[in-house]
């Protein structure tokens, strides 16, 4: 089995805020991340796929196609956006690193051909904080 | 005595948008593109503060880096970290929060707090690939 990773990045605003809770409870749980006027991050995204390299091309999957797929289904929707407000596939979700990684998985997984499996979405919110999702 | 440069790295995360209120939406969009998004976007800003001077013969320090760190935390990070630069800060109420303007604001804040005998320079990374420095040598 071969693993192939494409690294991308996007910049976005967000806040951690549960609308079902009071402002006070949000501030207790999420601290400064609950700032009602948002804050933001430079997100780094690692998309890892797995499969068998094709005998004719030597490719597991054409990385240019993977890059265009990530651009169309993820980056065009997230980059320079407000994750809580501007993104159709995050509507009604808490925009934690965990949930954004999961949502990116759900965006990309259906786009891949049958012989290529999505292995991992790794999403850095800061250089010191990241979440990984392996689909299980 | 020979001068030595010392550096302190800090970081803050903030939302902003680039917008000139004297222009219409079309012109703002033309000039600032996706950075003009009315719902804001954001960055992990990395800040490098450089102080140059002669090490004090008693302490061996150009500046106590713990003191410098506290100064930056109290006067810069408290204002900007996890904030919306356009909405939550006095400094950018009427000033476009470009990296250029942010670095000048940070320099001005710190310059008032650091011994005038010491040379001060601030570098600000908006992304890994976009960064600015002030003042220019």
Average pLDDT, chain A: 97
Virtual torsion, Cα A19, A41, B16, A107, nearest 10 deg: -70
Nearest by CB to B13, from A9, A79, A126: name it.
A126
| B16 part of the active site | no
Chain A contact for B90, CB < 8 A? no
Residue A53's pLDDT band, with cuts at 50, 70 and 90, is very high
| Domain containing residue B35: CATH number | 3.30.479.10
3-state SS string for B35-81: HHCCCCEEEEEEEEEEEEECCCCCCCCCCCHHHHHHHHHHHHHHHHC
E strand intervals along B54-117: 83-84
Whole-number pLDDT of residue A26: 97
SS3 content of chain A, % helix, strand, coil (to 5): 35, 30, 30
Chain B contact for A38, CB < 8 A? yes
| Domain containing residue A11: CATH number | 3.30.479.10
Query: What's the total number of domains in chain A?
Result: 1
Chain A contact for B48, CB < 8 A? no
Give the Cα separation of B76 and B73 in Å (integer).
6
Smallest CA-to-CA distance from B79 within A24, A39, A110 is with: A39
B1 pLDDT higher than 80 = no
| ipTM here | 0.86
Domain housing A29: 2-133
E strand intervals along A15-136: 39-51, 81-82, 117-126, 129-133
In chain B, residues with a C-beta closer than 8 Å to the C-beta of A79 are 34, 41
Whole-number pLDDT of residue B103: 98
Backbone angles phi, psi at B61, to 5 degrees: -95, 140
A63 pLDDT higher than 90 = yes
Omega before B135 within 30 of 0, i.e. cis: yes
* Residue that has been written with the tokens 């550096």 in this structure: B7
Backbone angles phi, psi at A13, to 5 degrees: -100, 155
Class of residue B100 by CB neighbours under 10 A (exposed 0-12, middle 13-18, buried 19+): middle
A30 pLDDT higher than 90 = yes
Q: Are A134 and A119 in contact (CB under 8 A)?
A: yes
**Are A42 and B43 a contacting pair at CB < 8 A?**
yes
User: Which member of A33, A44, A98, A119 is catalytic?
Assistant: A33
Give the Cα separation of A28 and B105 in Å (integer).
31
Domain housing B55: 4-134
In chain A, residues with a C-beta closer than 8 Å to the C-beta of B39 are 13, 81-82, 85-86
Residue B40's pLDDT band, with cuts at 50, 70 and 90, is very high
Give the Cα separation of B79 and B92 in Å (integer).
11
Give the model confidence (pLDDT) of A77-117 as tens digits.
999 999 999 999 999 999 999 999 999 999 999 999 999 99
Average pLDDT, chain B: 97
B3 pLDDT higher than 90 = yes
Q: Read off the pLDDT of each residue in B85-107 and give the average, rounded to a whole number.
A: 97
B137 pLDDT higher than 90 = no
Chain B contact for A30, CB < 8 A? no
Whole-number pLDDT of residue B107: 98
Give the number of other Cβ atoms within 10 Å of residue A50's Cβ.
15
A-B contacts (CB, under 8 Å): 76
Give the model confidence (pLDDT) of B46-64 as tens digits.
999 999 999 999 999 999 9
Q: Read off the pLDDT of each residue in B19-25 and give the average, rounded to a whole number.
A: 96
Which tokens belong to B99? 């990296």
């Amino acid at each position: 089995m071969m693993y192939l990773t494409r690294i991308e990045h996007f910049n976005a605003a967000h806040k951690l805020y549960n609308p079902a809770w009071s402002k006070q409870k949000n501030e207790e749980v999420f601290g400064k991340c609950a700032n009602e006027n948002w804050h933001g991050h430079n997100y780094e995204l690692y998309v890892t796929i797995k499969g068998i390299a094709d005998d004719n091309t030597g490719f597991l999957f054409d990385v240019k196609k993977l890059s265009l797929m990530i651009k169309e289904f993820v980056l065009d929707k997230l980059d320079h956006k407000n994750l809580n407000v501007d993104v159709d596939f995050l509507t009604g979700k808490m925009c934690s690193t965990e949930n954004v990684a999961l949502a990116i998985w759900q965006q990309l997984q259906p786009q891949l051909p049958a012989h290529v499996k999505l292995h991992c979405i790794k999403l850095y919110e800061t250089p010191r904080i990241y979440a990984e999702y392996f689909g299980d | 005595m020979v001068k030595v440069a010392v550096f302190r790295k800090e970081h803050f995360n903030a939302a902003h948008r680039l917008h000139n209120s004297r222009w219409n939406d079309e012109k703002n969009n033309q000039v600032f593109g996706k950075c003009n998004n009315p719902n804001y976007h954001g960055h992990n800003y990395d800040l490098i503060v450089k102080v140059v001077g002669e090490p004090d013969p008693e302490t061996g320090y150009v500046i106590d880096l713990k003191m410098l760190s506290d100064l930056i935390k109290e006067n810069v990070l408290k204002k900007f970290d996890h904030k919306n630069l356009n909405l939550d800060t006095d400094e950018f109420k009427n000033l476009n929060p470009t990296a250029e303007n942010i670095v000048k604001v940070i320099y001005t804040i710190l310059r008032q707090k650091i011994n005038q005998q010491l040379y001060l320079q601030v570098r600000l990374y908006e992304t890994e690939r976009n960064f600015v420095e002030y003042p220019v040598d």
